[in-house]
Structure 1
Amino acid sequence: MWKTLSLILPVLIPSWRFFKAIEPSPRVQWSILSDVDSHARDWQEFRPRPLAVTPLQMLGRLFWNPAWNDTLFVVSCAERIEQQPTDHSITEIARRIQADIEQSQVDDSAQFFRFRLVFVHSDGTGLVEDIVFLSDPVAISAGAAC
């Protein structure tokens, strides 16, 4: 009985010492390029959070929210890239951005995209964005994954 209770109790009452440190996560932003040499402009937030969520939506998300799980995976990949870039993490983020771009059916002249990781913080006078990673251009191929 005590053994079972000792296993269940940490799930019901989590330890605040679970994380060694709480730090901001990088934001993932992407931009469309007309060719490999063009400069990225008009950066878009990747999967921005909704401005409002109804109580019914919150309740449903407690039990089923695969889109948020996928977004958390992207954040995990972004944190790994910030610490030590790996091809796997870069490819995983690029694949998800490409899938979102293809679903949104952007302008047909768009041939490439790139993404960046940005830390946003306040410096006392306003918000400051620090770019910690900028990807190489990735080809947009309709219907195909990266």
Structure 2
Amino acid sequence: MIARTFSQLMPVLFPSWRFFMTVGPSPRVEYREKGGVWRESHPKPAHLSVGQMALRMFSNHARNTQLYAVALAERLVAAPCDHSRDELMRLVAEAHGSAGQLQFRLVFVMREGEELISEVIYTSDLFSAEAFL
């Protein structure tokens, strides 16, 4: 009994470094209104006060949503499916919804020497934000 409990507790106390199969760039989700400028969909705040940091230890909906969007983007790149695309459309519409049409794209940003290289991996069709709100 104790040996079984200990064997289940060990991975929590000493996580495996082989948790991730591969490590590589993570896609960024960008959006735009029809014909507009591309912007980051769920940007990180430029500055957080100490109080905001403390509050985020207990509740951080915006960061959870951002992580969910990145997970969906990674799934969409690895194995495209309607569910991941539709969920990303919903997240973009909720965050930037307007009465117009929106579009999102997935961008890999990589460093080559001193230079940052951006590569667009996926671009969605235009979609109506109202359909996802």
TM superposition score category, shorter chain reference? 0.7 to 0.9
For residue 120 of structure 1, give the secondary structure of its aligned residue in structure 2: strand
Find 1:133's aligned residue among 107, 112, 122.
Answer: 122
1:44 is aligned to 2:31: no
- Report the CA distance between 1:41 and its aligned residue: 3.9
Q: 1:74-104 CA deviation, whole Å, 9 max, x = no partner?
A: 11110111122211101000101111113xx
CA contact (8 A) 2:89 2:132 kept: no
1:145 is aligned to 2:132: yes
CA RMSD of aligned residues (A): 2.0
Q: Name 1:32's counterpart in structure 2.
A: 33
For residue 132 of structure 2, give the secondary structure of its aligned residue in structure 1: coil
Stretches of structure 1 lacking an aligned partner (at least 5 in a row): 34-39
For residue 72 of structure 1, give the secondary structure of its aligned residue in structure 2: helix
1:66 is aligned to 2:53: no
Find 2:102's aligned residue among 113, 119, 135.
Answer: 113
Q: 1:104-139 CA deviation, whole Å, 9 max, x = no partner?
A: xx6x6xx21100000001222521110000000011
- Report the CA distance between 1:68 and its aligned residue: 2.0
Instruction: Supply the AA of the counterpart residue of 2:6.
Output: L
Indicate the percent of aligned positions where both proteins have the same amino acid: 37
Work out the CA distance in 2 between the residues paired with 1:2 and 1:58: 39
Q: What TM-score do the two structures reach when normalised by structure 2?
A: 0.85
For residue 25 of structure 1, give the secondary structure of its aligned residue in structure 2: coil
For residue 122 of structure 1, give the secondary structure of its aligned residue in structure 2: strand
Q: 1:52 to 1:3 in 2, by over 3 A?
A: farther
Work out the CA distance in 1 between the residues paired with 2:77 and 2:7: 37
Q: What TM-score do the two structures reach when normalised by structure 1?
A: 0.78
Q: Name 2:19's counterpart in structure 1.
A: 18
For residue 121 of structure 1, give the secondary structure of its aligned residue in structure 2: strand
Work out the CA distance in 1 between the residues paired with 2:58 and 2:15: 19
